Amino acid sequence: MITVIGSVNLDLVASGAPLPHPGETVTGARLARYPGGKGANQALAAARLGHKVRLVAAVGNDDMAEEALKLLRSGGVDLSATQYLNGETTGVALIAVSPEGENLIVVCPGANNALGPDDVAGAPIEHMLGVLEVPVPALLAAAQRATGLVALNLAPALPVPDALLAEADLLVVNETEAAFYGDALHAPGRLVAISLGSEGAELWKDGRRIASARPPHVRVVDTVGAGDTFFAALAAALIEGLEEAAALTFAVTAGALTCTRPGAQPSLPQRAEVDALLKT
């Protein structure tokens, strides 16, 4: 089983208008509400790719919580370790999406910031996925208990202790995050995946590039959630025992499919869709 230690948000998405510059107001956007949060996205992505998934997370005891958890629940993600916290708000992400599919995101973490080491001390952890939208102590406690793959998505880019990096078998970053962490990403035996947007991704091991992959051509509608799908798909493929280059190709293909539909969780692909696109 995959245990995801991560965030749950409700995404408020304004789409169809140009992205504003600082101090600028734009109008004409359409508003939509989607379940989101990088941890929740990754959990649902892994479940749709065929894995049993449990999410360790926190939401507020408010009217946004069930809306934020709706697709996870219907998608078969185990929410028994997801808490409802009095006095906290469910996390919210304010997202602007341009007509070209590029986005700007502001996150209000709310209950996500309350997750702690005690919250991961319940059921055994086999494979663990984590993201930096929740406190590092919770991630470290989970990583130290995991008996299988430990995969960390170092997003957003923040200083993290060496002790957490030392637990990781797989680190996933984008170009900006890779520049932030530099050589600290690389350690003997560790895999590091660097996503390159429309250019695909690279996979590094022992400080050298061992594979690269370009995504299939798709019509981009919305890039929100693509990075989360890439991370979950790469971890899932490695857990399944795919060869490293094949796992990277699988991950960029899944990420590309996510860009073809609006919203984070509604756009996450099913395993059959990824397999079909790979065959073409």
Whether residue 182 is predicted with pLDDT greater than 90 in this model: the reply is yes
Q: Binning pLDDT at 50, 70 and 90, where does residue 219 land?
A: confident
Alpha-carbon Rg for the chain in angstroms: 18
What does the domain layout of the chain look like in residue ranges?
2-9+37-89+113-279
Which CATH architecture does the domain made up of 2-9+37-89+113-279 adopt?
3-Layer(aba) Sandwich (3.40)
Question: Which residues are CB-neighbours of 11 under 8 A, at least 6 positions away?
Answer: 33, 34, 35, 36, 37, 92, 93, 95, 224, 263, 264
Share the mean pLDDT of the chain.
94
Question: What pLDDT, in 10s, does the model give residues 241-269?
Answer: 999 999 999 999 999 999 998 878 888 99
Express as a percent the part of the chain with pLDDT over 70: 100
- In this predicted structure, what is the pLDDT of residue 276? 93
Whether residue 107 is predicted with pLDDT greater than 90 in this model: the reply is no
- In this predicted structure, what is the pLDDT of residue 221? 84
- In this predicted structure, what is the pLDDT of residue 102? 83
Whether residue 122 is predicted with pLDDT greater than 90 in this model: the reply is no
- In this predicted structure, what is the pLDDT of residue 97? 86
- In this predicted structure, what is the pLDDT of residue 128? 98
Element (H, E) at 138: helix 136-145
Q: Binning pLDDT at 50, 70 and 90, where does residue 53 land?
A: very high
Mean pLDDT, range 156-165, rounded to an integer: 95
- In this predicted structure, what is the pLDDT of residue 7? 96
Q: Binning pLDDT at 50, 70 and 90, where does residue 62 land?
A: very high
Mean pLDDT, range 67-80, rounded to an integer: 96
Query: Is the separation of the CB atoms in 186 and 206 below 8 Å?
Result: yes
- In this predicted structure, what is the pLDDT of residue 95? 87
Whether residue 19 is predicted with pLDDT greater than 90 in this model: the reply is yes
Instruction: Give whole-number Cα distances, 16 to 28, 192, 220, 263, 265, in Å.
Output: 7, 35, 13, 13, 19
> Which residues are tagged catalytic?
228
3-state SS of 167-228? Answer: CCCEEEEEHHHHHHHHHHHCCCCCEEEEECHHHCEEEEECCEEEEEECCCCCCCCCCCCHHH
